[in-house]
Amino acid sequence: MKHFWISLILLLVLMGCKQETETSEYTPLEETDIMMPYSDYNARLSLDFEGTYLGTLPCADCEGIKTTITIDGDNNFERVMVYLGKDENGTFREGGMFSWDETGNVITLLNAEEPNQYHVGENVLFHLDVEGNRITGDLSEHYKLHKK
């Protein structure tokens, strides 16, 4: 009977050691292990970008350019630009395909007249300059097209 109790105690001690060994191998995840890389968060994958965007962009020789852009999930676009204060020939309509840049945040309207790049945000298109940069300064708020 004495051997039974000694064997039982040894068995419990060994089981306790084994459990401790298993738990000592556990290493908590680093925050970076559970976060997706930044590149996985972009407008193309994360936003509901499809729809119609409206706004009036500044114009050097007219009252403004009323702009409507419709984009869809098949990379098609239609853009209508009305040069306010101009005669009936001040309306331009174009359509075709658009492409995404490597970041998945900027679209380029293919075969469109300049300017043709827009940064896609949450329910907004930011009109970009001819070099593909966001427009800054006092008028920067006027270079946004808001989703309808």
Mean pLDDT to the nearest integer, 40-67: 92
Backbone φ and ψ for 4, nearest 5 degrees, come out as: -65, -45
At 121, is the secondary structure helix, strand, or coil? Answer: strand
- Using the predicted structure, report yes or no on whether residue 130 has a pLDDT greater than 60: yes
Distance CA 21, CA 24 (A): 5
- What pLDDT, on a 0 to 100 scale, did the predictor assign at position 84? 94
What is the CATH code of the structural domain delimited by 47-147?
A: 2.40.128.640
Q: Which residue has the higher pLDDT, 129 or 27?
A: 129
Confidence band of 53 (pLDDT split at 50, 70, 90): very high
Strands (E), 5-102: 51-57, 64-71, 76-84, 91-100
DSSP letter string over 2-24? HHHHHHHHHHHHHHHHHHHHHHH
Mean pLDDT to the nearest integer, 15-44: 55
Distance CA 146, CA 87 (A): 26
- What pLDDT, on a 0 to 100 scale, did the predictor assign at position 117? 96
Mean pLDDT to the nearest integer, 69-81: 96
Domain parsing of the chain, residue ranges: 47-147
The rounded percent of the chain whose pLDDT value lies above 70 is 72
CA 6 to chain centre: 66
Mean pLDDT to the nearest integer, 63-87: 94
- What pLDDT, on a 0 to 100 scale, did the predictor assign at position 112? 87
Rg (CA), the chain: 30
Find residue 67's DSSP bridge partners: 55, 81
User: Quick count: other Cβ atoms within 10 Å of Cβ 101?
Assistant: 14
Q: Which residue has the higher pLDDT, 7 or 31?
A: 7
